[in-house]
């Protein structure tokens, strides 16, 4: 990806789409660097796939790996109106479209799995649990507080597992990140007793 260094970002971050796309790219890079540096095991899970762009970017930063990339989405857009968001935004996608985009843009042939469903459905939760029992990175990109709360409920067991592993073997306990600072704050508050 061209023009994605910090100098370019700092010069142009007043342009909203640059702030969003380049900013998050640099953020992904920093986190994946840490995951590799500390050899943190686990798969990648994304809540909110839409057409697959962020999973494609994250995969390209990882490069060839045995880790699995898992994306969960209704593929029907946002479930409700909230603040600046309207119900149905991002419905210009489908499971098949996202699948093809990802398949065509994972040149390293890393494993990926898309899970179709709403985050508050038991089947979505069960399907995620059957795909992986360990995560190194979770990307929350569902835009809504309600959807992100459901996603946080789903990931709680992974955080507890990681905490147990960390206690046993030492080392870095968890990696969590998001496109939006606010969600990061919610995570810190909600899970503060776990870390």
Q: Which is nearer to ligand SAM, 77 or 184 (CB)?
A: 77
Q: Of the candidates 28, 31, 128, 141, which one interacts with ligand SAM according to CB under 6 A?
A: 141
Site for ligand SAM contains 43 (CB under 6 A): no
Q: What is the distance between the alpha carbons of residues 114 and 52, in angstroms, rounded to a whole number?
A: 10
Quick one: which segment of 31-39, 51-59, 99-107, 181-189 binds ligand SAM (CB under 6 A)?
51-59
How far CA 143 is from CA of 33, 46, 76, 87, 113, in Å, comes to: 25, 12, 14, 11, 21
Site for ligand SAM contains 144 (CB under 6 A): yes
Site for ligand SAM contains 53 (CB under 6 A): yes
Report whether 25 contacts 57 (CB < 8 A).
yes
CB closest to ligand SAM, residue no:
48
- The CB-based long-range contact list for 78-86 (8 Å cut-off, 24+ gap) reads 78/142, 78/143, 78/144, 78/147, 79/118, 79/144, 79/146, 79/147, 80/144, 80/146, 82/144, 82/145, 82/146, 85/143, 85/144
Site for ligand SAM contains 50 (CB under 6 A): yes
Q: Of the candidates 25, 40, 70, 74, which one interacts with ligand SAM according to CB under 6 A?
A: 74
Site for ligand SAM contains 158 (CB under 6 A): no
Site for ligand SAM contains 116 (CB under 6 A): no
Q: What is the distance between the alpha carbons of residues 110 and 91, in angstroms, rounded to a whole number?
A: 26
Q: Which is nearer to ligand SAM, 92 or 171 (CB)?
A: 92
Residues contacting ligand SAM: total by CB under 6 A? 22
Please enumerate in sequence order all residues whose Cβ is within 8 A of that of 68, keeping only pairs 6 or more positions apart, or say none: 43, 44, 110, 111, 112, 113, 131, 132
Site for ligand SAM contains 42 (CB under 6 A): no
Q: Which is nearer to ligand SAM, 97 or 172 (CB)?
A: 97
Binding site for ligand SAM (CB under 6 A): 48-51, 53-54, 73-74, 76-79, 90, 93, 118-119, 141-144, 147, 150
């Amino acid at each position: 990806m061209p023009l994605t260094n910090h100098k370019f970002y700092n010069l142009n971050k007043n342009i909203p789409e640059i702030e969003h796309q380049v900013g998050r790219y640099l953020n992904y890079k920093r986190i994946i660097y840490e995951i590799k540096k500390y050899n943190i095991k686990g798969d990648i899970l994304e809540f909110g796939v839409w057409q697959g762009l962020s999973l494609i970017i994250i995969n390209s930063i990882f490069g060839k790996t045995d880790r699995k990339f898992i994306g969960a989405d209704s593929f029907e857009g946002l479930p409700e109106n909230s603040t600046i968001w309207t119900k149905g935004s991002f419905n210009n996608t489908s499971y098949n479209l996202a699948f093809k985009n990802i398949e065509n843009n994972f040149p390293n042939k890393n494993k990926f799995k898309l899970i179709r469903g709403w985050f508050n459905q038991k089947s979505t939760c069960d399907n995620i649990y059957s795909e992986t029992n360990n995560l190194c990175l979770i990307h929350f990109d569902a835009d809504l507080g309600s959807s992100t709360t459901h996603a946080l409920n789903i990931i709680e067991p992974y955080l507890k597992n990681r905490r147990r592993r960390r206690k046993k073997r030492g080392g870095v306990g968890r990696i969590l990140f998001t496109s939006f600072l606010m969600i990061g704050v919610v995570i810190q508050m909600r899970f503060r007793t776990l870390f």
